[in-house]
Copies of this chain bind each other. A is one copy, B any other.
């Protein structure tokens, strides 16, 4: 069988299945954004790793080395923030074709450093053609603050920390080589330099009313499925409530794109997706705003219809099945 037929999650499941009997007792988070490894005194170590491959995740001529360096770090610290923890340090492996200039590496390093996460090790090697970046980030957290995908309960509100679909819109602008106006540039910026939620993530980790959390990297449709599978629940999402940026609406309308599909199916927004006990949602939104200066957007709720995702428009179920993004 070819890998295409299996897909990314199929491949991962196949590999993971061979290691189930080796998982040390007390380790959790397998299948979450990070592995969670128990330490002493109610503390845990969190570990995540992500690989970015040229021509798959980025095009060398489209993204600046600074943005690539910054994004390589952003996507990894996002996994730590998505569990309510604090990133502590990073490890970087870099495969570089020999025609890369040292200035490129210089700029990449500056971008990688821009989040001010310490780099404590890594590996550098030659590559025949593609640039490959692999980053591992570790974080620490008190056990009680760690948010898993499995904690959502029927009735919980579903919230996100930022607008959806901008990154996918930016990718469309880049690949379709549109003449970029100001709004298109904002979308490209969202794709090349997504926001990170380090302080918001850690703050949400400290809130007991947050029952589950993850980041949206594969798209809302795909990532929601992870939460409802892990939590053994269902969900209803009101698509009119999805936070969508003005820039995405404008660029989409001008080009006859469906911006809702981009918001639901597009990947790489790296906003946090969380579920909150219904009685605490309003208070949490207020406190979050005053602590972070940012907004939490309520987009739907968790139901007891296990495995079921219902997309509503003005409370009426849509006859649409949205899909997430798969790099295979």
Chain A interfacial positions (CB closer than 8 Å to B): 1-4, 6, 8, 11-12, 14-16, 18-19, 22-24, 27, 29-30, 34-35, 37, 39-41, 43, 45, 47-51, 53-57, 88-89, 91-96, 98-103, 105-106, 109-110, 112-113, 116-130, 132, 134, 136, 138, 327-328
Contact = CB atoms under 8 A, between A and B. Distances in A.
Contacts of A41: 40
Contact of A109 (B14, B43, B110): B14
Nearest to A6: B102
A12 to B, nearest CB: 5
B27 A120 contact: yes
Contacts of A109: 14-15, 18
B91 A136 contact: yes
B37 A89 contact: yes
A328 B126 contact: yes
23 contacts: A2-B100, A3-B96, A3-B98, A3-B102, A4-B98, A11-B102, A12-B124, A15-B92, A15-B124, A19-B118, A22-B113, A30-B121, A35-B89, A47-B120, A47-B121, A49-B91, A49-B93, A49-B122, A51-B94, A51-B132, A53-B128, A55-B128, A128-B130
Given A14-B106, A89-B35, A49 B101 contact: no
A288 B53 CA distance: 44
B110 A18 contact: yes
A136 B49 contact: yes
Contact of A120 (B35, B54, B88): B35
A19 B130 contact: no
A321 B110 CA distance: 37
B127 A53 contact: yes
Label chain A's interface by main secondary structure: mixed
Contact of A47 (B93, B106, B136): B136
Contacts of A130: 127-130
A219 to B, nearest CB: 16
A98 to B, nearest CB: 5
Nearest to A43: B40
Contact of A117 (B2, B3, B22, B45): B22
A149 to B, nearest CB: 14
A109 B2 CA distance: 16
Contact of A56 (B1, B34, B126, B328): B126
Contact of A1 (B19, B91, B102): B102
A50 B121 CA distance: 10
Contacts of A39: 39-40
Given A125-B57, A327-B126, A119 B22 contact: yes
**Candidate in A8, A15, A30 with the most chain B CB atoms within 10 angstroms:** A15
